[in-house]
Structure formats: C-alpha cells, structure tokens
Structure 1
C-alpha cells in the first residue's frame, strides 16, 4: 500500500547478521575457544615441550603430507570424473554418479576396515602388490589412499555444477579457430573452473587433516612412522592428559586455519582475475 512500509519476507540485515553471529558463536567459536582456554593453563615450557616433541612432530608431518597428497590426487582425478559425468552419456552413468557419494554415506570405520582388508598383505590387492615390493597397509601410502577415498566427493561435487553451466560454444569456437585441445582446456576451461577446483581441494585437504575413522585401521598407528595427529590426541585423552591433547589440537587448529586462509585468498584472486578477463 502507498505510504506504508514494505514488509519483507526475510528479516533485515541487522537481524540476519545477529542470528548469523549468534549461530556461529554457539556452534563454532565457543567450542574452539575452549581449546585456547584449556591450553592457556599450561606453562610456556610445558606447552612448547608438548607440541615440539619428536613423536608429535612426526604425527604433524604424516597428517599434513598425506592430506596434501590425497587432496592433490583428488583434484586431478575428481576433475576427470566430474568431466566424464557432465560431458558424456554412457550406460550405468547414474550408478557411477551415485557411487561418488558413497564415501559420504559410508561410516568411516567401515571404510577403514574395508580398505585395510583389501590392501593388507594377504588382501585382494595387497597380495598382488607384495611381490612387487609395494606395501600399502600400515604405511603412509595406505593413509593417503584412505584420504583419497573419503575426499573424492568434495572435488567432484564442487566442480560438477560449474562444468554443467559452462557453455560449449566457446570451446567449439576455439577448436574451429585451430586451438589444440590442451590449449583450449588451459586457456578457456581451466580458468572458469579453477575457483571451484581450488575449493574442492581445500575441502578435501581439511577433511583429510582431521580424518580419524577411515585412517586408524589402515595406518597401523606406529609412532614416528604411521601415527596420525588425531590418533595422538585420542591417546592423550585416554591417558587423561587433557592439557597435552588441547595443546596439540591448538597447533592443528592454527595450521589448518592458516592453510585454509591462504587457499581462500588464492581462490578470491583467481575469481577476480577470471571476472576481469
């Protein structure tokens, strides 16, 4: 009506922002602040000794390197799978599309047991690799395979919608003008999907750092060799060393935040460069 205020279906910016901050505080900020508060009760020397222990440093390296390797593998093959699902029609496509989401629905402990059974020395695949001198179970390679398994859907489901919206006319025009397939991909397709691909990489990397259930079985949990950081935190908790567990968790939290911040900055720059091009 004329002269009357327009009622909006959704609440205004102030109320929406208030709900957002309140929700994030209850779900994210307050629980994470408990890690800082608990760690603050430790002396600096105790804190430094806990996070700089040889066993802890080895667990950091294993967790971050395997998560980074798995995320990189998923970025390549996740893009390939998304491309096949979007650009081609073939029998059983819906089944393949559903299989991509299986790691989301499957309990991580079940995935860990299944992978360990297959890749053990007497397993279906492990027994074939053993004569070649390739050992998967109870090695960093096995951890990486487990992280690839649980991280693949993040890349595929992030890149797939972008490929579906990508128009084929530009690609066909580039090919008609004589551009090779690799040049068409690197100059036309890749810049468009790069932000989504980087997002999928970041999600797979973040999931891999904190993964526990699917890794704990296949890793073998050998200190200095295959012990992951989440398992080390659980060990500290079982020993009632809550301060030590929170100190290690704090380092993981800071490292993960910095890594994700860097990835988000890169993603933002790529998006701006793609938009302005």
Structure 2
C-alpha cells in the first residue's frame, strides 16, 4: 500500500490498517483511565459506600424503625409528589421551550437560551429566597393567586415550584441537541406522502425524541428529589405537611444522629437508583422499538 493509495482514500488492509488503528488511540490512555477510575472511586463510590455502611450500622430493626417512622413516611410522600408534579410540568414546558429555541428564530432568542441555564449558575438559596418573595401572600404572584384561593408559599405547591425551577434545564438541554440534529427532510418526506402536521409529529418526530426526553425527565426527577437549598425557604418546613426528606436527614445530622441521617439518605439513594435503572430500560426499549420500525 503506497502513500498515493492512502491519499486517494483506498481502504487500508493488513498490518497497515492495524498500525493506523493503533495510532488513533489517545496517548496516555492507561494513565487517563487510571486517574478516571481513582477519581470515580474517591469522589463517587467511597461516599456512597460510607453512607450505606453507616446506615447499616443501625441493625435491621433500628434501621426499619427510622425509615418507616411517621415523620419519615410523610416526608417521602411530600418529596415524591412534589418531584412528580414538578417533573410533569417541566416535561411539557421544557419540551415546548426546547422546540421554540431550536425551530424558531425571533428577537431575544439567544437571551432566552442563556436564561435557561440560570438555575445552574444561581445559588439554590438565592433561588429559594427569590421564589419565596414572589409567591408569598404579599408577593407579585402570591397575592393574586391567594385572591383566587391558591396558596403557594409554605405548601407542597411551593415545593414543586422550587423543584421545577431548579430542574428545568435538564430537560431543555437534553432535548436541544437531538432537535438540532433532526433532519427536516424526514418531516418533508412524510408531508409529501400525505401525513398531517400532528401525524408527522406523533409518528416521525416524537419517536426520535423519546430516548432523549426520558433521559431529561429522569435527570430532572432525580434533581428534584435531592433539591434542598431552594426548597427549605419556600416550603415552610412543617412536619407532616411541607417537610422534605432531605430536611429530615439534615435535622438528624443537627441532632448528631448520624446513623439515622444515613438511613434516611439511603432511602433517597435507593429511590434515585431504581428510577435511573427503570429509565435506562425504557430508553433501551424505545431505541429498540425505533430500530425495528426502521
């Protein structure tokens, strides 16, 4: 195989192909892999293992008593329902926002696109204070809502609002790249075959977006489950009414009851892990189903 053959694009074979393939490997791969694994072990695996170990130190009977106490069960209910409400809202609104940012050009689009990342940069405590000021009974939004009989601040609705604010970017930023790479020729082909706008969206566009949408929804839900700073200011933190699970664990830490705090935290960890596993299974099924359709 000559240099001319390589220059004109003829495929390499034999030892030459093997040499080129080896040359594509990133230099220092073993060192990079080792550093990555060590970092993952120290920063991710070790804290989680410590959490499980400390929680398991209670013994099964004491552990079960802590995680099934009435106050803990009430906090699970508040946290899960608020996270589900926030995620449901963000699924619809985040999808529409990503669609508008990608498919339409209008004055202020870049500014709106930048504002989407604001919850990432804004400290959660600042977000909680701002939301509390807006939705308090004398706030800009809270006063008219209260006149209609809807109280937001210091209720589970306020918790859902804070969770929705902090988790919205996960859905938008997950959908945007897929929408940008979506070939408009596929939609045009469907229209030329007589499909209406809704049919094109339902049969062509939506199946392609489902895996990305599921990924964004799972990340948003997991973020909502673990949200703390933005929630505690607007929640009111009333036991059995508006107290989230993260706050119950924090209170246990303030009481120097570290095993109980770790036990409650393992429930949150297990819930997030199960949700991610289920989401990954649904994503794999959606990709398989889309591949079969093609």
Both structures adopt the same fold (TM-score exceeding 0.5): yes
Tell me the equivalent position of 2:194: 178
TM-score, scaled relative to structure 2: 0.89
Task: Report the CA distance between 1:16 and its aligned residue.
Answer: 5.6
Distance in 2, matches of 1:11 and 1:61, equals 51
Indicate whether 1:104 and 2:120 are aligned. Answer: yes
Tell me the equivalent position of 2:263: 247
Tell me the equivalent position of 2:77: 61
Tell me the equivalent position of 2:221: 205
Tell me the equivalent position of 2:144: 128
Structure 2 residue runs without a partner (length 5+): 1-14
Distance in 1, matches of 2:272 and 2:282, equals 15
Pick one of 78, 81, 84 that aligns with 2:94.
78
Pick one of 203, 217, 221 that aligns with 2:237.
221
Distance in 2, matches of 1:100 and 1:16, equals 33
Distance in 2, matches of 1:252 and 1:147, equals 16
Equivalent residues in 2 for 1:127-206 (5 A)?
Answer: 127-206=143-222
Distance in 1, matches of 2:180 and 2:120, equals 22
Pick one of 106, 110, 131 that aligns with 1:90.
106
Task: Report the CA distance between 1:21 and its aligned residue.
Answer: 3.1
What's the secondary structure of 2:253's corresponding residue? Answer: helix
TM-score, scaled relative to structure 1: 0.94
Q: CA RMSD in A?
A: 1.9
Tell me the equivalent position of 2:247: 231
Distance in 1, matches of 2:47 and 2:242, equals 29
Query: How many matched pairs?
Result: 276
Task: Report the CA distance between 1:46 and its aligned residue.
Answer: 1.2
Task: Report the CA distance between 1:67 and its aligned residue.
Answer: 1.1
Task: Report the CA distance between 1:223 and its aligned residue.
Answer: 0.3
Larger Rg: 2
Structure 1 residue runs without a partner (length 5+): none
